[in-house]
Every structure is written in C-alpha cells, then in structure tokens.
Amino acid sequence: MLLDLSPHTIKGGWSLTNKGTITQTAAGVVNVDGGTSFTNNAGATFNTAGSVLYTGNGGPAGTFTNNGTVLMTGTATSKIGLVFTNANVLQINSGTLEFIYDLTQTGGTTFLNGGNLRVDGGVGFTISGGVLYGGGSIMAATVDNGGAIDQTRAAGYTTLTITGLYFP
C-alpha cells in the first residue's frame, strides 16, 4: 500500500497496526497527536521513501514499536518524532533517518546499508539487545551498546563513524 498522509493529523489515543507493507512516498509533515501508538507487526514492512517528518502535535510523545522491518530508502532526510523501539530490523539504505526522541533497540538488527542514523533525543541510541552492523554515520548524544557491533557482515561498507559519547 502506498501511503500519502502529508499533511495530515493522526489524532491522539489511536493505535495503528501495520500487518502488511506500507510505503510512505510523499514529502511533507504528518502530525501525530500525543498518546498515539504505531506498531509494525512481525512480517510487516514500513518503508519511508519520501522526505517526511512524523512529529508530535502536543501532549506526550507517541510511540513506534517495530517488530517487523522498517526501511529507509529515500535519499533525503526523514524524521520520526515518536519514541521508537526496534525489536527486529531497522535498515537504512540511503539518506538519513533521524529520530527526534530516543531510539532503543531491544533485539534484532540495525543495519546501516549506505545510509546514516541520527538520534536527537537526550538519551540517544540504546542498544540493549541485538546487533548493529554496516557502515555509515551514527550521530547521537550517546550510543550505549549493550548488544553487539558486527562489521563482518558489512558488505562493502567498512567504516562506521559514531559521533557522540560511546559506551561499549
């Protein structure tokens, strides 16, 4: 399914669940009211191919829980203004995927496959499980690695640059 939400508002308190494939192609802003939760189910794919900003619209930040695959295939910068938890696959093929709040990986993989990762949240990028692999840049206030970094599966991408405090 192609998703063109821009510019729209997703009202607070809603729970959205992706059970298939969503490709966000349009550039623009999607306002997500506080208390909204988005879940990408196991086996589902969420692809951000356009330059889009998912941002809070007042109130507490919404949440995005990834149990499937989140892909960044656009060449510009896409921003996710939701508290993001990755439990399966977060893959950045091009451009920059920026998280306005903290990013937590509880399992699975974060794969920099030619793209870059930026985390603006105060805590930064917490890897409490799973593997970070690939090459590119990670820009975060802190990168707390309680998981693993594996450069052996970095097909052609050999340099991983971390800007910010790194705690192995």
Question: What is the DSSP track for 48-111?
Answer: E-S-EEEEE-SSS--EEEESSEEEE--SSEEEE-SEEEESSEEEE-SSEEEESS-EEE-SSEEE
Residue 158 pLDDT more than 80? no
**For position 23, what pLDDT does the model report?**
84
Number of domains observed in the structure of the chain:
1
Q: What percent of the chain is modeled with pLDDT above 90?
A: 38
What confidence tens digit (pLDDT) does each residue in 130-153 have? 999 888 899 999 899 888 888 766
What confidence tens digit (pLDDT) does each residue in 98-111 have? 998 899 999 999 99
The average pLDDT across 106-134 equals: 91
**For position 95, what pLDDT does the model report?**
92
The answer to whether the beta carbons of residues 46 and 40 sit under 8 Å apart is: yes
∠ Cα 54 2 40 (to 5°): 55
With cut-offs at 50, 70 and 90, classify the pLDDT of residue 37. Answer: confident
Residue from 154, 156, 120 nearest 138 by CA: 120
**For position 14, what pLDDT does the model report?**
79
**For position 145, what pLDDT does the model report?**
87
Mean pLDDT, the chain, whole residue set: 83
In sequence order, the 6+-apart residues with CB closer than 8 A to the CB of 155 are none
**For position 44, what pLDDT does the model report?**
97
What confidence tens digit (pLDDT) does each residue in 52-92 have? 667 666 667 788 999 999 999 988 888 888 889 999 999 99
In the numeric block, the tokens 């007042």 are attached to 58
More confident residue, 140 or 36: 140
- Structural domain range at position 140: 2-167
Residue 126 pLDDT more than 60? yes
Residue 157 pLDDT more than 60? no
> What is the three-class DSSP state of 17?
strand
**For position 10, what pLDDT does the model report?**
67
